[in-house]
Amino acid sequence: MSDLSLSILSTILLLLQLPATAILLSRLIKGAFRQPPIEPTTPTQEIYGAVSVVVPTLNERDRLSPCLAGLTRQSYEVREIIIVDSNSTDGTQDLVKAAAEKDPRIRLVTDDPLPGDWVGRPWALNYGFLSSSSQSRWFLGIDADTQPHPGLAAAVVQAAEAEGYDLVSFSPQFILKEAGEMVLQPALLMTLVYRFGPTNTEASSAERVMANGQCFLCRRSVLAAVEGYRSARQSFCDDVTLARNIAQAGFKVGFMDGAKVIKVRMYEGAAETWREWGRSLDLKDAASWGQTWGDVWFLLAVQGLPLLVVLGYLLLGLEGSRLLLGLNLFLLAIRFALNLAIAPSYDRTQAPKAAAWLFWLSPIADPLAVLRIILSAIHTPTQWRGRQYGPQ
């Protein structure tokens, strides 16, 4: 490559990366002032019977037992535990019925046939909301693959009331077991950290609100005011869509660190993580076209390119702007430092020792993570959790 071509390429990359780096730093600096993760706590009498828990299921028998065990260990703040099953065929309903014999708060309901203009998950959650007690002040959506700790429900309600949130969701501690996911999963998670900043920090606008449906707490009165999940009925990222709609309606929405109160084993291995989580990480169902592709530019600039640029200099012997090399070394240093910051968000104790250390190499998967976001932004999902969907 000629000196002129390298100079032009360097200039283009700098124009692409410098403004994105400034945006990234403005978001990450908030992490220095964020609140620590919430801790499990015991309930007070003021929240007696305040919470209705709703868990949507579809063929979740192999993953549901830890979730049910964790929910039954919640105290008297939980009024009811509603399992909304979408006609599972794997024995999920039998598992729930057996658990209900030991804990009368557990109730199994089967949702109505899925309407053509709804996605399955928000339909089940909405059905659970309509089936829940009007005497509960809080609606707590929990995913079937989560593992709630004792004291979870009391902790999330007390955190929400202390901060004055009408809706607040919580990031979990992710359980990693296999080598491939040790590298890929943190890289995919980092796409969210880069776009929305650390947990426990305020979003700059309703359009930048982040949410996590794995542990999703909302005031019942607020959910009733927005007609439940109706505004998110066609969204494959219904948690973020609903949270942003509620924020736009003027309610206070938060996103907090729940790594000490809930764990999750999302997917089995890197391939499933790439396929299942990757297809919704672009969050295009909750964003405008401009926001979606603005995020693609941003992630490409600060997460996808730095490793490739540095390798181009060091391994391929390319020469060019020292400013460009310095900028990308700086971005790589930030990325490796953030690995330290997100380490408590991962439980790697169940992985072989030979695989667990690969977590620290997750920045090498950043170009793949950004590629997955781009592919997801281009394609509309047609399959989700065993269901087929037509064009929306």
In order of start, what are the domains of the chain with their CATH numbers? 3-33+288-379 (no CATH), 45-172+212-268 (3.90.550.10)
The alpha carbon of 221 is separated from its chain's Cα centroid by a whole number of angstroms, namely 24
What pLDDT digit, counting tens, does each position of 337-387 carry?
999 999 999 999 999 998 999 999 999 999 999 999 999 999 887 776 667
| 390: pLDDT strictly greater than 70 | no
Predicted local confidence at residue 343, as pLDDT: 96
Share of the chain above pLDDT 70, in %: 96
Q: Which two tokens stand for residue 358?
A: 């690969």
Q: pLDDT grade, residue 319 (50/70/90)?
A: low
Higher-confidence residue of 280 and 74: namely 74
Q: pLDDT grade, residue 392 (50/70/90)?
A: very low
What pLDDT digit, counting tens, does each position of 155-176 carry?
999 999 999 999 999 999 999 9
What pLDDT digit, counting tens, does each position of 54-82 carry?
999 999 999 999 999 999 999 999 999 99
Q: What's the pTM value of the predicted model, to 2 decimals? A: 0.93
Predicted local confidence at residue 317, as pLDDT: 64
